[in-house]
Amino acid sequence: MNRALTFLIGVVVVVVVIFASLVLAYEFPESSHGLAAWVQAVGSILAIVGAYFIGERQASAAQRQFDANLRAREQVRRLAYVAIGRVAMDAANELKRPFEGNSSDPLLLSFTASPGRLLDAADALKQIPLHEVGSAEAISAIAGLRATLLSLNDRMCAMSDYLQSTGHQAGRYSATPVTSSHEMRGLIRHAELQFERLELALARPNP
């Protein structure tokens, strides 16, 4: 029930009881015993009404505190999900420099890319409990970012295997049969877009 309406009903009840007591006291002044009984009844009713409003106020305060705690926990979870996404994005960004321009630099790639980091980041994204994310857009972004990291890792492994099998150790190559600089840059950009979607989705309050 609306709090204002509840308060109004309580006030009306108190006023009616007091008015009835005054009328009875005026009409039957000789009945002191009856008047005492009515005074006692009025006191009991007022005590009940007062206890009700105190309980209502305490319940409302408890509900507000519960809602505040729930929002705080939700915010902590969302920040954690964004942090995981940022780690994933950092792993993808490690690959930017070796694929600048229209050629790739395997030697630079071997120094800048941390082995296993893409898979670790993809696994961290997989561990996010999607049923707690609370946003279809965020869930889609998490899935898209993870799929992009796995694609980057597959191409990295294929490129590494190819370069080792052909004896390439250093230098710049416009492409390999398994991937290209343009393709890698496209995947990195796609990862950036998915991370931006994730940030925006988690910045919105749940409906």
Across 21-25, 43-47, 68-72, 155-159, the highest mean pLDDT is recorded for 68-72
Integer Cα distance of 89 and 109 in angstroms: 17
**Number of domains making up the chain:** 2
Task: Residue 179: count other Cβ atoms within 10 Å of its Cβ.
Answer: 19
**The domain boundary residue, chosen from 65, 89, 118:** 65
User: Is it the case that residue 174 has pLDDT exceeding 50?
Assistant: no
User: Does residue 82 share a domain with residue 55?
Assistant: no
Asked whether residue 52 falls in the same domain as residue 152, the answer is no
The DSSP 8-state label assigned to residue 59 in this structure reads H
Mean per-residue pLDDT over the chain, rounded: 78
Q: Which two tokens stand for residue 10?
A: 């309580």
pLDDT of residue 191: 95
Task: Tell me, yes or no, if the pTM score tops 0.95.
Answer: no
> 99 and 183 share a domain?
yes
37 plus 118 within the same structural domain: no
Same domain, yes or no: 126 and 189 = yes
Q: Are residues 9 and 48 in the same domain?
A: yes
Q: Which domain-ending residue is among 65, 92, 109?
A: 65
94 with 49, same domain: the answer is: no
Specify the pLDDT at position 95. Answer: 83
Which two three-digit tokens encode residue 130? 């999607």
Length of the chain as a residue count: 207
Residues contacting 81, CB < 8 A, separation 6+: 128, 133, 138, 142, 198, 202
Q: Which residues of 128-167 are buried (b: 16+ CB within 10 A; e: fewer)?
A: beeeebbbeebbebbebbbbbbbbbbebbeebbebbeeee
Confidence of residue 45 (pLDDT cuts 50, 70, 90): confident
Tokens of 172: 């710049």
Do 60 and 95 reside in the same domain of the chain? no
Q: Are residues 181 and 161 in the same domain?
A: yes
83 in the same domain as 32: no
Geometric angle at alpha carbon 114, from 110 and 118, rounded to 5°: 120
**92 shares its domain with 17:** no
Q: Which of 46, 65, 84 is the last residue in one of the domains?
A: 65
Domain that residue 37 falls in: 3-65
What pLDDT is attached to residue 48? 80
For 16, the enclosing helix (H) or strand (E) is: helix 3-27
- Write the CATH number for 193: 1.20.120
* β-bridge partners, 173: 104
